[in-house]
Amino acid sequence: MKKSIKYGIMLLVALVLAYNSVYFKSLSEVKASPASDQFDAATYANKFWNTKLTPGLNQAVEINALISLLKADKAAAFTSHSHALGIGNIRYFLVKGEGEITAVGENTVTVVATSEEGQQPVKIETEFVYGNAVRDAQGLIDLTDFTSTMHLNSVSEELNKKIRTEVVPPFKANAKKGQQVQFVGAIELNQEHLRLDEIEVMPVSLELVGASPN
């Protein structure tokens, strides 16, 4: 009998402790409280664009010089010119070039970039601008600014949207086969499975050489 009373008291204490250790909030309280995950991706992306990304475009490596280095010493090329936030074979480069437009397609503009190092055909993306190449190509993102990968990814989305809505339209509207274009943008390469025959550039700056200003 005494044992049953003892066990009963222990069970009651356990229930009280369990009840007091659980705290419930109403949905309205959660919505009204200052959320730690509130993050203005558009504001961050615009500041990053204006203070870090575009001021650093002069650091881009010329595309033909990069191709020559990749063929001669792949490891050195990746070490010297690529960036990525994660560990793996996918790396990003900030490149620049100038060349002749050879085709204007629905989703890309093909350019043969020419320099003293040689010639390299590239496809400038004008429709499917996505991914993290532009965000990560310079290695300027500060991870301490973010509390979640969702916020980090939302910055990529905002940068890509800016390119699709502000950088691409005036270029695409006036681009014609045979014109010269100067470009700066980000490319993605796989260090383990390197392919240089189909390079796609996510553009950050596009300028038609000799084109009349709008």
Domain boundaries in the chain?
38-208
CA distances from 116 to 13, 54, 97, 98 (A): 82, 25, 11, 11
Contacts of 131 (CB under 8 A, 6+ apart): 156, 160, 188, 202
- Cα 75 to Cα 8: distance, rounded to the nearest angstrom: 70
Kindly report which listed range (5-9, 17-21, 90-94, 206-210) carries the lowest average pLDDT score: 17-21
Residue-level length of the chain: 214
Judged against a pLDDT cut of 80, whether residue 135 lies above it is answered with yes
pLDDT, tens digit, 9 for 90 and up, residues 54-88: 999 999 999 999 999 999 999 999 999 999 998 88
Confidence of residue 7 (pLDDT cuts 50, 70, 90): low
Phi, psi at 204, each rounded to 5°: -115, -35
Under CATH, to which class is 38-208 assigned?
A: mainly beta
